[in-house]
Amino acid sequence: GAVVSQHPSRVICKSGTSVKIECRSLDFQATTMFWYRQFPKQSLMLMATSNEGSKATYEQGVEKDKFLINHASLTLSTLTVTSAHPEDSSFYICSATSYGPGNHYEQYFGPGTRLTVT
Amino acid sequence: KNEVEQSPQNLTAQEGEFITINCSYSVGISALHWLQQHPGGGIVSLFMLSSGKKKHGRLIATINIQEKHSSLHITASHPRDSAVYICAVSRGNTDKLIFGTGTRLQVFP
């Protein structure tokens, strides 16, 4: 099946620094990529929807200046957490969708990135 | 009230038992997804359903569109099935998913 990778898998950074997380679709071109965050023992929360070559659409309550999303190509989207604070510590997951025959789509998830801000 | 509700929240079972996880939703959907999240955090898409029933190995997923309800069944459960199972729905012509809160399953040998 299709593979989505994320890099890094874990990152620890100091408060006030910025962190970039990459999401790549390895063997398919992704129509759309999504970014989620997940707090311990909670479900995924959609942060933003990203389409190649256009601005990301952010969900209500997500600061677009803090969580910068760049979707440079059909296989790469990046999430940059700017001026990170301890409350930004979370598990960040991306997913990518691919359309098949009959406009049937599949959504593939990356392995996630655990961010710890100290 | 959440748009997607799952039950139970937590489930323990002995190896070999038949397991059922339920999902109810209150919105119109184009598809329902069952996802599996292992302790390491990675998520695997198990099924995407818009009607009827699908089977993959020991996993069976069913959906009743009229009742807005889906079930995930695991036959002959195994400790490696221990994970969080998440139900999610997509609406209309958008790919965005609305997630349930997940069911934490532990299967003991």
Beta bridge partners of A113: A92
Q: If you average pLDDT over residues B81-95, what whole number do you get?
A: 86
Q: Quick: pLDDT tens for B40-60.
A: 788 888 998 889 999 999 999
CB pairs under 8 A between A and B: 48
Q: Quick: pLDDT tens for A28-58.
A: 888 789 999 998 888 889 999 998 888 899 9
CA distance A58 to B65: 30
Distance (Å) of CA B15 to CA B84, B105, B106 = 17, 12, 10
Q: Which residue of A has its CA nearest to B36?
A: A109
Cβ-count burial A9-30 (b if 16+ within 10 Å, e if not): eebebeeeeebebbbbbeebeb
Cβ <8 Å between A106 and B43: no
Between A79 and A2, the more confident residue is A79
- Using the predicted structure, report yes or no on whether residue B94 has a pLDDT greater than 70: no
Chain B hits for A38, CB-CB cut-off 8 Å, are 41
- Using the predicted structure, report yes or no on whether residue B21 has a pLDDT greater than 70: yes
Between A99 and A63, the more confident residue is A63
pLDDT score, position A104: 63
Question: Which residue in A90, A93, A89 sits closest to A79, CA to CA?
Answer: A93
**Mean pLDDT over each residue of chain B, to the nearest integer:** 92
- Sign (positive/negative) of CA torsion A44, A46, A50, A55? negative
pLDDT score, position A43: 85
Answer whether A111 touches B (CB < 8 Å).
Answer: yes
CA distance A95 to A49: 10
- Using the predicted structure, report yes or no on whether residue A102 has a pLDDT greater than 60: no
Beta bridge partners of B29: none
Q: If you average pLDDT over residues A10-16, what whole number do you get?
A: 96
Q: Quick: pLDDT tens for A69-99.
A: 998 888 999 999 999 999 999 999 999 987 7
- Using the predicted structure, report yes or no on whether residue B19 has a pLDDT greater than 80: yes
Q: What is the dihedral of CA B9, B13, B18, B23, to 10 degrees?
A: 0
Answer whether A106 touches B (CB < 8 Å).
Answer: yes
pLDDT score, position B62: 98
pLDDT score, position A101: 59
